[in-house]
């Protein structure tokens, strides 16, 4: 049976990437060895800052917040419309995520609302580059310097994105990338912390590895046969060499991956314009996106009905993100009251991600365009 359904995403893996694992098998270094260091260097070149590999973007953000001494009694401002992990990274330190509304056009944090949310307990602002769209860094920087706050980029979705020629990853005081399969490149699971802050990097390197001041690989290289002293509380946030080798194989074709994603996004922008009720994603001035996700907004119609119509045509389309303060864990803790975050609430109701991935055939993209046009006509406008 052939399945001609179009998925919303596919990881950019090539069968040849299997071969990239061979040196790990041959050398016996399968975790935190030379490939992790090479992968860190490869991501650092793209992100424009030094890099520390971790198990996920969430663990990378956790390490950055801990390095800044953020914990119980502190607040970190987080956009209300994002993936839950942005808030979880804050909550994991014992600090409180304070939610803030977003700009309905860019879907990213609204810097003026963030400024109004600052209290004496605020320690940091999280700039989420949602779907690869750079957050309004200049305005957020201004708020951070006025109130002496850290600026953390949640760049989970933003490998290869940039703002005014500075890459996401080098726009804040630290940044976190994700290599989950829905991201621009994937290691299955995995993440990377980037920063220009030498102290933060030293702490993060130790804390990702149970608090060890030196990795087993470095001890091996130096012929040191005793354990290091464990001066910090740590975690097992280590990326394996197997994952790093997969990541390196994709990093070698990152330019082609990004070009393909941008070509597909441009094609959607050309062919989906002017459809009543369909709002296309928009980038701020000076922004370049990696288009981790192409999130349209369905206005005046039921998003579910549009999804159902697409599904009947064999096209997957998924809710783009969520209203985090209203989610189970946060609903009571955040004291959420409906109507508090009008833009985020509208996006949670309306935003829909349509297929965009390396390997999406032009004819399939055309099917998506036709399917979405038909769905917008077929689904009744809400009274």
Ligand X SMILES: Cc1ncc(COP(=O)(O)O)c(C=O)c1O
Taking the complex as a whole, how short is the minimal distance between the CB of residue 141 and ligand X, in angstroms? 20
- Using CB under 6 A as the binding rule, whether residue 56 contacts ligand X is answered as yes
Shorter beta-carbon distance to ligand X: residue 157 or 317: 157
Taking the complex as a whole, how short is the minimal distance between the CB of residue 176 and ligand X, in angstroms? 7
Binding to ligand X (CB under 6 A) within 139-158 occurs at 154, 156-157
Shorter beta-carbon distance to ligand X: residue 85 or 137: 85
Shorter beta-carbon distance to ligand X: residue 185 or 206: 185
Stretch that binds ligand X, among 54-62, 117-125, 226-234, 373-381 (CB under 6 A): 54-62
> Which residue in the set 82, 93, 194, 215 belongs to the binding site for ligand X (CB under 6 A)?
82
> Which residue in the set 83, 268, 291, 336 belongs to the binding site for ligand X (CB under 6 A)?
83
Could you tell me how many residues make up the chain? 383
> Which residue in the set 62, 180, 238, 261 belongs to the binding site for ligand X (CB under 6 A)?
180
For ligand X, how many residues bind (rule: CB under 6 A)?
A: 15
* SS (HEC) of the chain: CCCCCECCCCCCCCHHHHHHHHHHHHHCCCECCHHHHHHHHHHHHHHCCEEEEECCHHHHHHHHHHHCCCCCCCEEEEECEECHHHHHHHHCCCCEEEEECECCCCCCECHHHHHHCCCCCEEEEEEECHHHCCCCHHHHHHHHHHHCCEEEEECCCCCCCEECCEECCCCCCEEEEECCCCCCCCCCCCEEEEECCHHHHHHHHHHCECCECCCHHHHHHHCCCCCCCECCCCCECCCEHHHHHHHHHHHCCHHHHHHHHHHHHHHHHHHCCCCCCEECCCCCCCEECCCCCEEEEECCCCHHHHHHHHHHCCECCEECCEEHHHCHHHHHHCCCCCCCCHHHHHHHHHEEEECCCCCCCHHHHHHHHHHHHHHHHHCCCCC
Shorter beta-carbon distance to ligand X: residue 176 or 375: 176
- Using CB under 6 A as the binding rule, whether residue 192 contacts ligand X is answered as no
Shorter beta-carbon distance to ligand X: residue 56 or 162: 56
Site string for ligand X, 107-146 (x = CB under 6 A): ---------------------x-x----------------
218 is catalytic: no
Taking the complex as a whole, how short is the minimal distance between the CB of residue 191 and ligand X, in angstroms? 5
> Which residue in the set 43, 58, 192, 371 belongs to the binding site for ligand X (CB under 6 A)?
58
Tally Cβ neighbours within 10 Å of residue 198: 9
- Using CB under 6 A as the binding rule, whether residue 357 contacts ligand X is answered as no
Tally Cβ neighbours within 10 Å of residue 139: 16
Instruction: Say how far apart CA 213 and CA 297 lie, in whole Å.
Output: 48
Shorter beta-carbon distance to ligand X: residue 29 or 178: 178
- Using CB under 6 A as the binding rule, whether residue 86 contacts ligand X is answered as yes
- Using CB under 6 A as the binding rule, whether residue 243 contacts ligand X is answered as no
Spot the catalytic one: 123, 141, 180, 183: 183
By annotation, the residues acting in catalysis are 183
Residues interacting with ligand X, by CB under 6 A? 56-58, 82-83, 85-86, 128, 130, 154, 156-157, 178, 180, 191
């Amino acid at each position: 049976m052939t399945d001609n359904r179009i998925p919303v995403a596919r990881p950019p893996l090539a069968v040849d990437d299997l071969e990239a694992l061979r040196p790990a098998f041959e050398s016996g270094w399968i975790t935190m060895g030379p490939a992790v260091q090479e992968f860190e260097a490869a991501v650092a070149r793209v992100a424009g800052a030094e890099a520390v590999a971790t198990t996920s973007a969430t663990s990378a953000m956790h390490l950055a917040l801990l390095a800044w001494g953020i914990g119980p009694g502190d607040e970190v401002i987080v956009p209300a419309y994002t993936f839950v992990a942005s808030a979880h990274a804050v909550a994991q330190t014992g600090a409180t995520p304070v939610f803030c509304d977003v700009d309905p056009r860019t879907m990213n944090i609204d810097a003026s609302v963030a400024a109004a949310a600052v209290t004496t307990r605020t320690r940091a602002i999280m700039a989420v580059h949602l779907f690869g769209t750079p957050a309004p860094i200049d305005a957020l920087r201004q708020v951070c310097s006025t109130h002496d706050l850290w600026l953390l980029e949640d760049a989970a979705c933003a490998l290869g994105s940039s703002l005014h020629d500075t890459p996401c990853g080098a726009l804040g005081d630290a940044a976190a990338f994700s290599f989950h399969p829905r991201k621009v490149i994937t290691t299955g699971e995995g993440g990377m912390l980037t920063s220009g802050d030498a102290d933060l990097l030293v702490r993060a390197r130790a804390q990702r590895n149970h608090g060890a001041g030196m990795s087993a690989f470095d001890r091996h290289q130096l012929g040191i046969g005793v354990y290091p002293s464990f001066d910090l509380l740590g975690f097992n946030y280590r990326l394996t060499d197997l994952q790093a080798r997969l990541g390196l194989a994709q990093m070698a074709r990152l330019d082609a991956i990004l070009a393909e994603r941008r070509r597909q996004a441009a094609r959607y922008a050309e062919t989906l314009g002017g459809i009543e009720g369909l709002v296309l994603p928009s980038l701020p001035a000076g922004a370049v996106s990696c288009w981790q996700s192409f999130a349209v907004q369905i206005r005046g119609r039921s998003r579910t009905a549009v999804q159902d119509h697409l599904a009947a045509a064999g096209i997957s389309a998924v809710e783009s993100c969520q209203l985090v303060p209203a989610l189970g864990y946060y609903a009571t803790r955040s004291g959420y009251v409906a109507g508090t975050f009008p833009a985020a609430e509208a996006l949670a109701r309306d935003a829909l991600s349509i297929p965009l991935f390396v390997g999406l055939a032009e004819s399939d993209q055309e099917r998506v365009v036709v399917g979405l046009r038909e769905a917008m006509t077929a689904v009744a406008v809400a009274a």
